Amino acid sequence: MGGKQLQSGKVPFQEDGAPEMLQRVLAKQTLSVTDTPNSISECKYLVFIVGTPVDEHLNPSFSAIHKAIEQCRPFLRDGQVLVLRSTVYPGVTSHIEEYLMSHGHDIGVAYCPERVARGFSLREFRELPQIISATRPETLKEVAALFEPFVPELIEMTPIEAELTKLMSNAWRYIQFATVNQFYMIASQHGLDFNRVLQGCKHNYPRMRGIPGPGFAAGPCLVKDTMQLAAFSQNNFVLGHAAMLVNEGLPAHLVRMTKEHANLRSATVGILGMTFKANCDDPRDSLSYKLRKILTLECKKVICHDPYIQGVGFHTLDKVLAESNILFVGTPHAEYKGLAIPEGCLVVDIWNTVAPQVMAGS
């Protein structure tokens, strides 16, 4: 499906600048799209966008990357360079090379992790330093030649250093979000306006300049990579596990606080925003869905709106505003900024996106 869309000139996801770039490369006939691995034997570089997910027990699962390698293996040839881009568990890069060698393939394997934000990858790819690593010195030179024309700086590391760097970067962001979310919970439990507290912390005070605002810390990377780092530490990553409890517990905390101000049993509740981050169309692992699940058990009715998602259970913004007694802002899309809320509607907006702020601690 995605391949056919690309060939027709349509980008199947939201990415700043991608539609224009796709039109250019299609017009120049420099892009060939296929849904099968048959043609990879013609390529020098094979860039794999296959990561290491976690299973239902929050342990790393290697089945996806093994399946991808096996599908491609009949078409591999000696001398190629396989570049892993997605987050992988420490040791996977070396494991893949050993696996290929055990099956008779002489292929260099590199790990060059993506370091870009969803929706802005084309711009950030050219702006940010690129970490490169490889299992062989000659492979490292080859991937340096691949990336050097596009990026401002190359950072050479060993594969396990690069793998750990990517995991730690995502875990650090996840812990930062958990810290401020814990602060939010403490303030809201005491009926305080956390935004005023946060402003007091940050205003002209450089030591607190980098603290983020509270909100749902979600998406396909942060919690997954934090749990991979926990597994790599033999589950001795106390900060990571604590961060998961805080961030994953935030939807339930919001519902508990709301119950102190309103009777949810008789209420129609609207959720504004269901993607995992603002102004993108990606719903993967969005905590808005966890919020909806909790509210479904507590409320008379739950209705949702998102400007980037359509489907069963989603309604127009006008309908959600008109029918809801209580509104939760799940994702702070630009479309919701300063949104006029019907009189008498209780707003739960941890992001401080819409107006007015009604519930204490919001």
For the ranges 142-146, 292-296, 340-344, the lowest mean pLDDT is seen at 340-344
Q: What is the pLDDT of residues 316-325, one digit of tens each?
A: 999 999 999 9
Report pLDDT for 4. 80
CA distance 232 to 243: 17
Pairing state between β 301-305 and 326-329: unpaired
The whole model's pTM is what? 0.91
Q: Is CATH 3.40.50.720 what the domain over 36-157 is classified as, yes or no? A: yes
State which H helix or E strand residue 34 sits in. none
Q: According to CATH, where is 3.40.50.720 located in the chain?
A: 36-157, 191-348
For domain 191-348, the CATH class is alpha beta
Q: What is the pLDDT of residues 145-168, one digit of tens each?
A: 999 999 999 999 999 999 999 999
Q: Average pLDDT of 254-276? A: 96
Report pLDDT for 361. 44
Q: CA-CA-CA-CA torsion for 283, 286, 290, 295, nearest 10 degrees?
A: -70
User: Is pLDDT at 3 greater than 80 in this prediction?
Assistant: no
User: Is pLDDT at 10 greater than 70 in this prediction?
Assistant: yes
Report pLDDT for 355. 61
Report pLDDT for 358. 53
Report pLDDT for 180. 97
Helices 238-259 and 159-189: angle between axes, nearest 10 degrees: 30
Reference 73, options 46, 112, 94; nearest CA is: 46
Pairing state between β 268-272 and 301-305: parallel
